[in-house]
Chain A
């Protein structure tokens, strides 16, 4: 049993009355007041999230871009400086070790943000792959140096632009694009403003020196309160990301899942000369274990009873054809939604599928992901 870890914002969360939950070994705020109020605030105004538990790695050196083309599923060498890209870290057998966001900071300088629970696995895989490419590459785990604060919601840009103490922003606020970043300074130290997020809304993720995280959190709240910004916890983050159809490692993604099963085939650039996992995927790898030969779909149902992770997806006669990986009563849509792995023969539109909710069969309709799409 390892000691629970806390982010640099622990005292702030406690002062706000947060309930905590274990997440990947971290004690994280699950809610401050109400899951639903926090969820709706992000859809209608903005929420501020502590995501400092996530892990950060730098990849630097003359061969950094070529190295990432080999180590990850995407073609990161084709990314412009200033951009961000979603990618996958695969195992030799094509399974997903983690999903990550890669930022190209300079030609030979990249930042990778990975899931908290996979920090060790990502570090091990990235480090092991350094020796498999020629040229100069250095991978460093800088997770403990930084805190990450997300401001998400339709008012996020307005709020972040008005946070006191942020100076020297490298890109004018009205020119900052989604899945891109700008550099800035907060309290004299470098700040990365990444216009990315996990909620389906516009938003920013602010990477700041861990020592300044509490001040930046306070400044974000001070700037945002008049716009309706509230602190939001993991419960809201999970219902928001589910509505946005984003897969969660440990639910939709695992070492037993190959990208195409999770609807992430487009993330794999298979015409690269070589990358880890290529041979297995070329051989038509279908994953192993319970996910073998299954495909991820979205399901919607009527009423208010939600299917939960682990519940079976069944046919009318009770035949099990799949399993829910994430499910909730959608706060925004007002009806139950779920992501589930099902046998491909039952994945087509119009299939007669049911959620087995503790013995009760609830009719479900195949729904294209995402369930929720923000208005542009």
Chain B
């Protein structure tokens, strides 16, 4: 189980785990619960470049569509095919198996993101 306190969060409900210069990005359990059962995920190609705040993909549930906003600026180096094949992973394991993309980032990429306490406070606001 990922220690949720080691992650950074965006107000748009993405999480980021940084290892060296590689950021792993997913959506939070709060986002997954709000969407309901997720049945389709669209992710970018490896090599795609994003700035923080850009739309990098979509998650669709039975009821609604949600755009995925890049929480960091960088270049996609890996996408999680497992979650494309089985979007329900986003509901069952949003912080684990259902990471979405890995992005190569520059120093300071996490500046301005929320820590766990601030994110939880944001979702309860």
Contacts and interface: CB of A to CB of B under 8 A. Distances in A.
Interface residues of A, number: 19
Given A19-B33, A34-B91, A329 B40 contact: yes
A305 interface: yes
A50 interface: no
Contacts of B63: 30, 35, 235, 238, 328
Contact of B62 (A19, A239, A305): A239
Chain B interface: which size bin? Answer: 10 to 19
Contacts of B36: 30-31, 34-35, 235
Interface of A: 19, 30-31, 34-37, 39, 235, 238-239, 304-306, 308, 328-329, 331, 358
Contacts of A238: 63
Given A35-B62, A329-B60, A329-B62, A304 B37 contact: no
Interface of B: 33, 36-37, 39-40, 42, 58, 60-65, 91
Contacts of A306: 40, 60
Contacts of B61: 35
26 contacts: A19-B33, A30-B36, A31-B36, A34-B36, A34-B37, A34-B91, A35-B36, A35-B37, A35-B62, A36-B62, A39-B62, A235-B36, A235-B62, A235-B63, A238-B63, A239-B62, A304-B40, A305-B40, A305-B42, A305-B60, A306-B60, A308-B64, A328-B62, A329-B60, A329-B62, A331-B62
A37 B37 CA distance: 9
Shortest beta-carbon contacts, A-B, top 5:
A36-B37, A304-B40, A35-B37, A35-B62, A35-B36
Nearest to B41: A304
A31 B63 CA distance: 11
Contact of B39 (A19, A31, A304): A304
A250 to B, nearest CB: 15
Nearest to A36: B37
B33 A308 contact: no
A308 B65 contact: yes
B92 to A, nearest CB: 10
A259 B40 CA distance: 35
A358 B60 CA distance: 12
A235 B60 CA distance: 14
